[in-house]
């Protein structure tokens, strides 16, 4: 709710100038409803129901080394709560309305508490579930304000006795893991409000970064990326991430000095990330990881003045760091944009884990947060280990990253620069002062550093991931762009950026590599993969947030609308002889595929997931011209304008005058609602509610309020 109190008009009544002020109060009303309880019978621990699909596929007999001791800790377990079907339908509609111009809910973001009160279980149901957990000996760590999860701790014996599944030790390739050996069970009375336990295992997510041997062409600096993807006009206009924030989900410890050195060497302002430890003790930070440094460095490289918030949680025997960090970020409404570069393929996630990921992202979207997630680095085979595998086999499964396939995230894939034999047209012979040498946009094709079907054996299966979800349905906004195939499931990626660790890796400072030695020498480390393209695109989205003066929520609604309006015939990003037109938002990638060695047709035009005209499952909508993207983005909650007019009073004593206030929404704001209060300098004349619709001539929403008054103007007698 805000007031606008500065609009005035004059009307002459019997030779006296009467000044009237209109004060417009715009109000947004959140729906408040009484949430009915769904637990309607007494909890009987002997009357149970199994929760199918909640045993990890690696918890298999051949890897089983026996049950865990009863005393083994089961800390920070996430119990995923269920919405009613009516709540889910209402939430789906609300999320659509948040992105629909003309809706009263357009860009009306919720707090975590508002979200929970509206879309979570009732207070009584929460009390019933928490008391049940306490009665089984568990400690309640946290009840999410958004009412998506309850976090609790206990031990393996309590898990067995309560959920009727044992925690076992599994040994795979010499590494030990803990996981439940069978599907959990819960009392049937609680089933209406419990989906299940997100995870009861510690099988890790995979970071999506890589480097294959020595870089062959160019190493990328922030200056290079700014030139190639046209960020420079934004920086020149003061769009640099100021007053925006990006949360980075860490997978390990971050050496802050590495990021400080990186920013200094590349001429970026001093603005180190904030490290937030979620339940982590200082002695438990673990080793510095390349993923952590890459993400924290490159989000800030693209949005130099954004507040970067690096969140690190400690994995437990039952819950990994990424899920705990996601919960923390969403529950604390921590940032405008969230960057995540980790992979759990859909084939391996449990049903409750998939539900937890979906619910966190839905809540984040409702709060206005924009999630940006990497698709992965193993082509269509998201479960394959690109760090070790040189080919896929018949046992490998085509599967996308479950962290990226939610409809409420921007899934970022990978491209690769393709200068052909004309590198001199795109790169200067010498670096500038901040190690940049790019001259202009460089043609791109699909990132694929893997071997062709009949070729080499010295390269792993490294390529940008993409494909169709088997979990999440096709969202309403994923339409209207040439190339989108028919089907019922969510497609990824949405967008892509350069990601090749072989061709043009991103430079970083790692483990003090940028600290000069006695001779003044230092060395950049390098990295590639969608773990590089993702934080870079998250930085771009922070720039869009700044320019739009608002959070964006699920930005895919706008991305696909912009793509649908694009003339892709003028925007071929793979044609060196005919580069994208200056007004293109997306650089359409039309060459290459993400097929990897061992896949049928790999290295040929018959392989699946070929790049093509418009959208494709290798690079999505393409890469972006960042300045054009930010300029084309519709500014949401701009302040409406208010104009005030008066009818001619006629000149007779006591004649009436009608004052009309017109409230005009800017850009795609909804039709204004609320009241206008009319004042003279010293007297309140009255208040009227505005009514209106969309002006057919201007396309802007308008509403008016009129007040008729009669008699003499009140006089200010203070002097």
pLDDT digits (tens, 9 = 90+) for 142-167: 999 999 999 999 999 999 999 999 99
Give the model's pLDDT for residue 443: 97
Same domain flag for 376 and 339: yes
CB 21 within 8 A of CB 678: yes
One domain for residues 394 and 463: yes
Nearest CA to 207 among 293, 327, 328, 317? 293
Q: Which of 607, 632, 657 is the last residue of a domain?
A: 632
> Is beta strand 245-249 parallel, antiparallel or unpaired with respect to 337-340?
parallel
Q: Is residue 124 one of the residues assigned to a domain?
A: yes
In the predicted model, residues of the chain with pLDDT beneath 50 are 1-21, 23-32, 212-215, 454-455, 635-639, 651, 667-668, 698, 715-719
- Residue 358 counted as domain residue: yes
Same domain for 283 and 143: no
Verify that 470 and 586 share a domain, yes or no.
Answer: yes
Domain limit, last residue, from 146, 165, 197? 197
Residue span of the structural domain in which 691 resides: 2-30+638-710
The Cα 239–Cα 247 span in angstroms is: 19
Nearest Cα residue to 353 out of 410, 402, 397, 405 = 402
435 conformational bin, left if phi > 0, alpha if psi -120 to 50, beta if neither? left
- For 38, 56, 370, 552, 623, the CA distances from 546, given in Å and listed in that order, are 42, 41, 13, 10, 20
Domain's final residue, options 617, 632, 647: 632
Same domain? 680 vs 553: no
> Is residue 562 one of the residues assigned to a domain?
yes
Q: How far is CA 155 from CA 185, 380, 614, in A?
A: 16, 38, 52
What pLDDT is stored for residue 444 in this prediction?
A: 97
Residue 352 shares a structural domain with residue 407: yes
Residues 625 and 645 in one domain: no
DSSP-derived secondary structure for 559-584: HHHHHHTS-GGG-BTT-TTSPPPTT-
Helix (H) or strand (E) holding 693: strand 691-694
In a domain, 253, yes or no: yes
Tokens of 635: 């500014």
């Amino acid at each position: 709710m805000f007031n606008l109190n500065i609009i005035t008009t004059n009307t002459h009544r019997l030779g006296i100038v009467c000044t009237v002020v209109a004060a417009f109060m715009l109000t947004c009303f959140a729906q408040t409803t009484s949430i009915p309880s769904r637990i309607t019978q007494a909890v009987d621990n002997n009357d149970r129901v199994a929760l199918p699909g909640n045993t990890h596929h690696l918890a298999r007999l051949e890897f089983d080394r026996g049950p865990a001791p009863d005393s083994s800790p089961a800390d920070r377990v996430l119990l995923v709560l269920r919405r009613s079907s009516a709540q889910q339908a209402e939430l789906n509609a609300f999320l659509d309305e948040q992105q629909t111009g003309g809706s009263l809910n357009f860009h009306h973001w919720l707090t975590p508490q508002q979200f929970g009160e509206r879309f979570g279980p009732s207070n009584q149901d929460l009390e019933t579930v928490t008391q049940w957990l306490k009665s089984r000996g568990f400690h309640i760590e946290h009840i999410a304000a958004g009412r998506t999860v309850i976090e609790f701790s206990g031990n393996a014996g309590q898990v067995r006795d309560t959920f009727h599944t044992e925690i076992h030790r599994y040994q795979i390739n010499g590494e030990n893991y803990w996981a439940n050996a069978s599907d959990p069970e819960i009392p049937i009375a609680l089933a209406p409000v419990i989906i299940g336990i997100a995870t009861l295992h510690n099988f890790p997510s995979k970071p999506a970064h890589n480097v294959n041997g020595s870089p062959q062409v160019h190493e990328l600096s922030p200056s290079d990326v700014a030139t190639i993807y046209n960020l420079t006009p934004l920086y020149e206009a003061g769009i640099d991430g100021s007053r925006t924030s990006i949360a980075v989900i860490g997978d390990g410890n971050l050496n802050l000095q590495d990021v400080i050195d990186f920013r200094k060497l590349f001429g970026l302002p001093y603005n180190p990330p904030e490290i937030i430890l979620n339940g982590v003790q200082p002695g438990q930070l673990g080793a510095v990881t390349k993923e952590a440094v890459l993400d924290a460095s490159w989000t800030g490289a693209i949005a130099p003045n954004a507040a970067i918030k690096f969140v690190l949680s400690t994995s437990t025997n039952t819950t990994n760091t990424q899920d705990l960090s996601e919960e923390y970020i969403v529950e604390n409404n921590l940032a405008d944009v969230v960057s995540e570069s980790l992979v759990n393929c859909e084939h391996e996630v449990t049903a409750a884990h998939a539900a937890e990921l979906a619910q966190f992202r839905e809540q984040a979207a409702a709060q206005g947060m924009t999630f940006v997630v990497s698709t992965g680095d193993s082509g269509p085979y998201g479960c394959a280990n690109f760090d070790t595998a040189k080919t896929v086999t018949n046992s490998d499964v085509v599967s996308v990253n479950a962290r990226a396939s939610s409809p409420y995230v921007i899934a970022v894939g990978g491209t690769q620069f393709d200068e052909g034999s004309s590198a001199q047209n795109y790169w200067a012979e010498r670096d500038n002062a901040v190690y940049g040498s790019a001259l202009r946009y460089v043609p791109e094709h699909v990132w694929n550093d893997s071997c062709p079907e009949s070729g080499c054996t010295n390269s792993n299966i490294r390529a940008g991931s993409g494909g169709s979800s088997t979990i999440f349905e096709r969202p309403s906004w994923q339409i209207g762009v040439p190339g989108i195939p028919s089907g019922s499931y969510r497609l990824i990626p949405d967008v892509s950026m350069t990601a090749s660790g072989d061709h043009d890796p991103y430079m970083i400072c790692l483990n003090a590599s940028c600290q000069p030695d006695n001779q003044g020498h230092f060395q950049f480390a390098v990295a590639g993969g969608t773990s590089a393209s993702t934080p870079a695109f998250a930085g771009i989205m922070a720039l869009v947030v700044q320019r739009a003066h608002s959070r964006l929520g699920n930005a895919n609604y706008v991305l696909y609308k912009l793509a649908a309006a694009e003339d892709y015939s003028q925007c071929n990003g793979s044609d060196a002889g005919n580069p994208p037109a200056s007004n293109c938002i997306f650089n359409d990638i039309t060459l290459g595929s993400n097929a990897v060695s061992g896949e049928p047709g790999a290295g040929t035009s018959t392989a699946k997931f070929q790049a093509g005209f418009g959208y494709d499952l290798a690079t999505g909508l393409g890469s972006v011209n960042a300045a054009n993207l930010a300029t084309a983005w519709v500014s949401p909650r701009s302040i409406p304008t208010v104009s005030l007019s008066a009818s001619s009073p006629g000149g007779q004593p006591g004649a009436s005058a009608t004052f009309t206030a017109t409230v005009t929404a800017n850009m795609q704001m909804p039709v204004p609602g609320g009241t206008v209060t009319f004042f003279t300098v010293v007297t309140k004349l009255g208040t009227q509610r505005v009514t209106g619709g969309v002006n057919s001539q201007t396309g802007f929403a308008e509403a008016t309020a009129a007040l008729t008054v009669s008699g003499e103007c009140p006089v200010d007698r203070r002097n």
